[in-house]
Amino acid sequence: MMEALVIGAGPAGLMAAREMARAGLRVTLAEGRPSAGRKLLMAGKSGLNLTKDEPFEDFLAAYGPRADHLRPMLEAFGPDAVQGWAQEHGQTLFTGSTGRVFPRAMKASPLLRSVLAELRGLRVDLRTRWRWTGWAGDAVCFDTPDGPQRLRPAVTVLACGGASWARLGSDGAWSGAFDPADLAPFRPANMGFLVDWSPHMAPHFGRPVKGIELQAGAARSRGECVISATGLEGGGVYEVSSALRDGAPLTLDLAPDLSPGDVATRLARARPRDSLKNRLRKALRLDPAKLTLAMEFARDAPDLPAALKALPVPLLGPRPMDEAISTAGGLRLDALDAGLMLRARPGTFAAGEMLDWEAPTGGYLLTACLATGLWAGRHAARYAQGRAAAR
C-alpha cells in the first residue's frame, strides 16, 4: 500500500486524510499540537457556524478576488455538501435567520470525535506533537517527542493553517520552508479594530450594538458589533474588515430602516428643551449602545441626521494578527496547479487557510477549508495512483 502524509490536523487536513485513505492509501496524519482540531474546537465555543444556506453565486462572491479560483472546489464540496457531511457524522443542523448553519449541539466536539473515529476506522495514523521543520531533499522532516524523524511518502498534503492564534498551532512558521516568491505576506482577517474612546465610553465596554449597518468602501454588513475596551469587535466588523484593513473609512448607520428624511423629521418633532441624548432616545428610539456611539461621534455634527445615517468612527488600525480569527496571505495560488499541487515540488499539495485566500466569518471560512482539503486529498490520491500505474 502506498504511503501518504498529511501535515496539519485541522479541518482541511482531516478532510484530505479521509479522501486519501478512502482511495486506498496508507495515511499518516502529523499534527504539531498535542491534539487534533484545536482551532475547530475554539470556533465551536461560539456555536460552530458550519456554512451558510444561500444561493451558490452569493456564497461564492464572499471570496472576492479568489472566487473564480475556488469555484471548482466549492462546486465539488459546497454548503449543501458540508451540511450532508455533518449529518453523516450524526449532527442535527438548524439554519438561523441570516442563513448561517449550525449543529444543534452548538459545539464542535461531537463532530470532531466522529470525524476522528472515521479516520481511525480508515486506519489513518494520527501522530501528535510532530512539528514539521521542512524538507531535506525528498525527505519530510519533523521534530517529535522521540527525536527528529524523516518520512518519504509517495504523496504529501500540507494543511498547516494561517498565521493567527499561535497557541492553537496556527503560527505561520511553515512559511520558512518556501521560496519567498511563492508567498504573499500574512495580514490579519476577520479581526477587531482599535478605537481611541473617550473616558465616558468605559461603562459601555462589552455592550453589543445591534440593528446597524456598517460600511467600509463598497463593503456593507447589516449585522452587529461589540464595543470593547480597545475598539470594535464582532461579526459585523469582521464582514467589512478586509476593506477596513486596506484603508477604507468605517461609518455606521444607526437607523438603517429609516431614510435621512425620516430621521430629520423625527428629530424636528422632538422637544427642543430636551437634552440631545433624550431627543435621540425619544425620537429615534436608539438603545443605550447606539446612543453612546452617537454622543461619542455625532454630538457636534453640523448635520445630525446625516451623521446618524453615516456615523464616522475613526480607527487606529486592526488588532494584532495573532488575535485575528483568520489571515490573508500565505502560499500564492499561482504557485499551485489546478489540483493544488506545488509547481516547485511535484507530489506535494496544499490546502486550507495556508493558501492565499480570505473570506468573512459566517460559514465561509470553514466551508472553503473543507473544500480545499477534499480537493487536495483527491488530487493527491490520483497523483499517487497515476505514478504507481506508470511504473
CATH number (domain holding residue 333): 3.50.50.60
Q: Does one domain contain both 126 and 221?
A: no
Cα 383 to Cα 349: distance, rounded to the nearest angstrom: 10
pLDDT surpasses 70 at 148: yes
- 371: its cell numbers: 473544500
Place of cell 444607526: 254
Q: Does one domain contain both 308 and 176?
A: no
Q: Does one domain contain both 163 and 37?
A: yes
Q: Does one domain contain both 198 and 337?
A: no
Q: Does one domain contain both 142 and 9?
A: yes
Domain-terminating residue out of 264, 285, 318? 318
Residue 244: closest CA among 226, 212, 221, 228 = 221
pLDDT band at 388 (very low <50, low <70, confident <90, very high): confident
Place of cell 498547516: 160
Per DSSP, the chain holds a count of helices (H) and strands (E) of 13, 20
Domain-terminating residue out of 318, 341, 374? 318
Residue 238: closest CA among 256, 226, 247, 253 = 226
Chain-centroid distance of CA 66 in Å reads 14
Cα 164 to Cα 158: distance, rounded to the nearest angstrom: 17
Residues 6+ apart with CB under 8 A from 220: 213, 214, 240
Q: Does one domain contain both 227 and 354?
A: no
* Residue 214, H or E segment: strand 207-216
At 50-106, the pLDDT tens digits run 999 999 999 999 999 999 999 999 999 999 999 999 999 999 999 998 899 999 999
Number of domains into which the chain is organized:
2
- Whole-number pLDDT of residue 1: 63
Domain-terminating residue out of 272, 288, 318? 318
Could you list the residue range(s) of the whole structural domain that residue 100 is in?
3-187+327-390
For the whole model, what pTM was predicted?
0.94
Q: Does one domain contain both 84 and 204?
A: no
Q: Does one domain contain both 139 and 234?
A: no
**Backbone φ, ψ for residue 247 (5° rounding):** 110, -5
Residue 138: closest CA among 347, 337, 335, 387 = 347
At 228-258, the pLDDT tens digits run 999 999 999 999 999 999 999 999 999 999 9
Q: What is the CA radius of gyration of the chain?
A: 24
Q: Does one domain contain both 265 and 332?
A: no
**Helix H segments across the chain?**
11-22, 38-44, 56-61, 67-76, 79-88, 109-121, 235-239, 241-245, 260-269, 276-284, 288-297, 304-309, 364-390
Q: Does one domain contain both 233 and 154?
A: no
Cα 132 to Cα 347: distance, rounded to the nearest angstrom: 17
Q: Does one domain contain both 116 and 211?
A: no
pLDDT band at 27 (very low <50, low <70, confident <90, very high): very high
**Backbone φ, ψ for residue 13 (5° rounding):** -65, -40
Write the single-letter amino acid at 35.
S
Q: Does one domain contain both 77 and 139?
A: yes
